[in-house]
Amino acid sequence: MTVGHFAMGLIRWMTHKDPTKRPEVSEVMKHLKSVKMMTTRDLKTVGTIQFSRTHFVDRGGQESVYLGSCEHPDCKGVEVVIKRIYFSEMNKSVAINRELAALRNLSHPNIVKFFDSASDEDFRYIAIEKCLTSVDKYCRQPLLYQGVIPMPTDQQVLHQMAKGLRYIHSQKIVNNSQPLIHRDVKPENILISCDNPAAIKWADFGLSRTVVSGSKSFTWSHVKGTKRWNAPELIQLVVTPKVKGSQSCDVFALGCVFFFFLKQGMHPFEDEGSIDDRSAVQKNIKIGNQVNLNQLSKDHFAFSIIEKMIQNEPHSRPKMSAVVDALQLPATPDT
C-alpha cells in the first residue's frame, strides 16, 4: 500500500498490538465517511452546494462540516467540504458574515480556498477546499496520520504556518484600511491539505476582525478565541473589563502552536500533571511560566523564535515578517 493511501493509517490503528488502543467499529465508520463519499443517497442541495448529511467530518459550536460538492466554475475536479453554520442568533450572523468577507478576500497558498456560499432559513453553507485533517488531530492521533500523510519537513511546516499568518496580518477587510487579526489561532484551525507533499492551510475566520481605525490594536470587552491559546494580556480580562488586543496576540498563540507541533501535542505552558486543565495552563501563561520550553533543545532551529514569540510582554514579540525570515529555508545552490 502506497504512502498517502487513505486507509493506511486506519489499518495501522485497527491492527495495533494493544487491544485497548484499537478503534471501535463506530470510529472506523466515522473515519471512512469523513474521507470518501460512499453513497449519493441523502443529499441536500442549496444553491450550487450539495452535501451528504451521512458523511460528517467535524463539528464545533454551531458549525458542522460534511463532505460535498459545489457547481461553482472554480470547483471543477476539486474535492470540497461544506461548512454548515446555524445562524438564528444575530451575533452569530455577524460572525458568519465576517468569516465570509475574510474568505472571499483572502487568496494565498496557505489559506483554505473558498468557492461559494448559500443559505436557507436556518443555516449558511460555505463550500471550501477539502483538507485531510487538522494539525491538532495530526499530533494527537499519530497512528492514524503520521507516516501516512506526505508531510513537508518540520521547518517547512512552521514556515508555511508563518507565511499564512503574515499574509492574514497584511490584509484588510473591504472598506477598512486597518490590518486583519485572526483572533482564534490554535491547532484545530490550521489544516493539512490533500496535496503531495501536503501544504499547511489556515481556516476559520469567524472571530477575525480589523483593528480600530487609527490604532494598531483594538479593545476586547470579553475573551475571544480558545483560552488555552490566549496571550497573557487577554487573560487579564478576568480582572480588567477591557484590554487591548493586537496582532501580537496571534503571534503568541502561533508560538505555542509551533511548540505543540514539534513536541507532538505538548503545550509549552501545560504542566505534566494538568493535562486538559485550562485554568492551570492559563495561570502559567499569565505569569510567564514556560514549563515545557526546555523540552526543546536550545540548538533546535525553532527554539529561539518560539522563545521570542511567547514572551509575556506584547512589545517583546516579533512581527510575523520576522518570524517568516527566521524560519526561511537556506537557498538551494544552482547545480
Give percent of the chain above pLDDT 90. Answer: 44
Q: Is 192:134 a contact under the CB 8 Å cutoff?
A: yes
The values of phi and psi at residue 178, to 5°, are -100, 155
Lowest mean pLDDT among 73-87, 159-173, 291-305: 73-87
Kindly state the average pLDDT of the residues 38-55.
80
Residue 225, pLDDT score = 47
Q: Into which CATH architecture does domain 37-129 fall?
A: 2-Layer Sandwich (3.30)
Taking every pair of C-alpha atoms in the chain, what is the biggest distance, in angstroms?
Answer: 60
Nearest to 235 by CA among 173, 156, 289: 289
Residue 238, pLDDT score = 53
pLDDT band at 39 (very low <50, low <70, confident <90, very high): low
Q: At residue 90, does pLDDT exceed 60?
A: no
Residue 222, pLDDT score = 43
Whether residue 197 is preceded by a cis peptide bond, meaning omega within 30 degrees of 0, is: yes
- Topology (CATH) of 132-326: Transferase(Phosphotransferase); domain 1 (1.10.510)
Q: At residue 316, does pLDDT exceed 50?
A: yes
Greater confidence, 224 or 303?
A: 303
Query: Which residue stretches of the chain are H helix?
Result: 8-14, 25-35, 90-105, 135-140, 142-145, 154-170, 232-235, 247-262, 278-287, 303-309, 320-326
pLDDT band at 93 (very low <50, low <70, confident <90, very high): low
Domain with CATH 1.10.510.10 in the chain: 132-326
Greater confidence, 300 or 184?
A: 300
Q: At residue 38, does pLDDT exceed 90?
A: no
Residue 242, pLDDT score = 54
Domain with CATH 3.30.200.20 in the chain: 37-129
Residue 244, pLDDT score = 56
Q: Which three cell numbers mark 335? A: 547545480
pLDDT band at 319 (very low <50, low <70, confident <90, very high): very high
Per residue in 180-193, pLDDT (tens digit) is: 888 889 999 999 99
Per residue in 195-247, pLDDT (tens digit) is: 989 999 998 875 555 433 334 444 443 444 467 899 999 887 555 555 556 89
Residue 85, pLDDT score = 85
Give percent of the chain above pLDDT 70. Answer: 77
pLDDT band at 37 (very low <50, low <70, confident <90, very high): low
Per residue in 102-134, pLDDT (tens digit) is: 778 889 999 999 999 998 888 889 999 999 999
Residue 215, pLDDT score = 43
Residue 74, pLDDT score = 86
Greater confidence, 300 or 279?
A: 300
Q: DSSP letter for 79, please.
A: -
Q: At residue 264, does pLDDT exceed 80?
A: yes
Listed in sequence order, the residues at least 6 apart from 173 whose beta carbon sits closer than 8 Å to its beta carbon are 98, 101, 102, 105, 180, 209, 210
**CA 2 to CA 7: how far, in whole Å?**
10
Kindly state the average pLDDT of the residues 73-84.
87
Residue 216, pLDDT score = 47
pLDDT band at 274 (very low <50, low <70, confident <90, very high): low
